[in-house]
């Protein structure tokens, strides 16, 4: 009898330890430490302890972490698995759509954001779809989606920034500047607001205004390669070639293999 009781006790202790392990992994899987999250989600998925909707959540959490780590192809695989288990996860469609956008699979990204919006319209879905439209050069559709996104979430400074880019691409400079200014007002430390406004001024052949915005972007991010390059172009437009050369060289230090920067330096009669 003693042997039987001890056997039951060990079995119960083993079950309790397994349950604690599953609970700990579930917490870590949905946590903020991305590499820990991937390992914990992998342990959960491999354990066989989850099924159905719960397993779909683990796949989604691992996909989210891999996406943030820049592993979009791995993330897409996990979103596929999650959605095969539960086809109504708007978050999975949204985030897979973002990953499709990152790897240039724009048609698939567009389809995912459409599905997410059909499940439940949210600002993040319109913002994501607007980004896809922007990359596909469908600027009016992008403008419409970014407008919807900021109407639903007025604090969405990235959508204001992208809205400004889209306006600039259709030649509506005043609307572009207004959108970039909204971006700055909401998040003054977001260097892209200033860089994109400067790029918009540059396209409109307003180099002095562009330089002011590139200055602001570089004050926030002194390693902003594109801001150095575009400020150099603006200086060249003003005939300030020494300042342009300095900016091109600064940009080249950040990207030594950039052939375009070398060509710009050569055009100004300067060595790298």
Domains 18-120 and 189-272 share a fold: yes
Task: Kindly report which listed range (65-79, 150-164, 177-191, 216-230) carries the lowest average pLDDT score.
Answer: 65-79
pLDDT tens figures, 121-161? 999 999 999 999 999 999 999 999 999 999 999 999 999 99
Spatial contact of 47 and 22, defined as CB atoms under 8 Å apart = yes
**8 pLDDT above the threshold of 60:** no
Spatial contact of 106 and 100, defined as CB atoms under 8 Å apart = yes
Does the domain at 123-150+160-188 match CATH 1.20.81? Answer given as no
Structure-token pair, residue 40: 């914990």
Structure-token pair, residue 267: 């055009």
Compute the distance between CA of residue 225 and CA of residue 191 in angstroms, rounded to an integer. 12
Q: What is the pLDDT of residue 20?
A: 52
Domain ranges of the chain: 18-120, 123-150+160-188, 189-272
- Which architecture does CATH list for 189-272? Alpha Horseshoe (1.25)
What pTM value is reported for the model?
0.84
pLDDT tens figures, 87-100? 999 999 999 999 99
Lookup result for tokens 């491999």: 46
Spatial contact of 63 and 75, defined as CB atoms under 8 Å apart = yes
Q: Please give the share of the chain, as a percent, with pLDDT higher than 70.
A: 93
Compute the distance between CA of residue 34 and CA of residue 32 in angstroms, rounded to an integer. 6
When pLDDT is cut at 50, 70 and 90, the band that residue 267 belongs to is very high
Q: How many CB atoms lie within 10 A of CB 10?
A: 10
Backbone angles phi and psi of 221, in degrees to 5: -130, 95
Spatial contact of 73 and 105, defined as CB atoms under 8 Å apart = no
> For domain 18-120, which CATH number applies: 1.25.40.10, 1.20.120.530, 1.10.10.60, 1.20.58.220?
1.25.40.10
């Amino acid at each position: 009898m003693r042997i039987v009781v001890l056997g039951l006790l060990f079995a119960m202790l083993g079950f309790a330890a397994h349950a604690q392990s599953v609970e700990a992994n579930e917490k870590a899987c949905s946590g903020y430490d991305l590499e820990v999250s991937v390992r914990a989600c992998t342990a959960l998925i491999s354990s066989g302890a989850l099924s159905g909707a719960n397993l779909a959540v683990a796949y989604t959490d691992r996909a989210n972490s891999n996406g943030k780590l820049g592993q979009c192809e791995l993330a897409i695989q996990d979103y596929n698995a999650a959605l095969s288990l539960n086809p109504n996860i708007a978050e999975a469609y949204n985030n897979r759509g973002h990953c499709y956008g990152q790897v240039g699979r724009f048609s698939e990204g567009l389809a995912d954001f459409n599905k997410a919006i059909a499940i439940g319209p949210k600002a993040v879905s319109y913002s994501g779809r607007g980004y896809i439209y922007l990359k596909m050069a469908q600027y009016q559709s992008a403008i419409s989606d970014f407008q919807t996104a900021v109407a639903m979430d007025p604090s969405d400074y990235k959508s204001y920034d992208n809205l400004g880019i889209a306006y600039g691409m259709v030649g509506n400079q005043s609307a572009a500047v207004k959108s970039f200014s909204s971006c700055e007002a909401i998040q003054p430390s977001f260097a892209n607001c200033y860089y994109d406004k400067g790029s918009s001024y540059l396209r409109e052949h307003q180099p002095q205004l562009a330089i002011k915005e590139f200055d602001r972007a570089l004050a926030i991010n002194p390693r902003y390669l594109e801001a150095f390059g575009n400020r150099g172009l603006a200086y060249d437009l003003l005939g300030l070639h020494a300042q342009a050369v300095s900016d091109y060289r600064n940009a080249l230090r950040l990207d030594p293999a950039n052939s375009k920067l070398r060509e710009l330096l050569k055009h100004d009669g300067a060595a790298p």
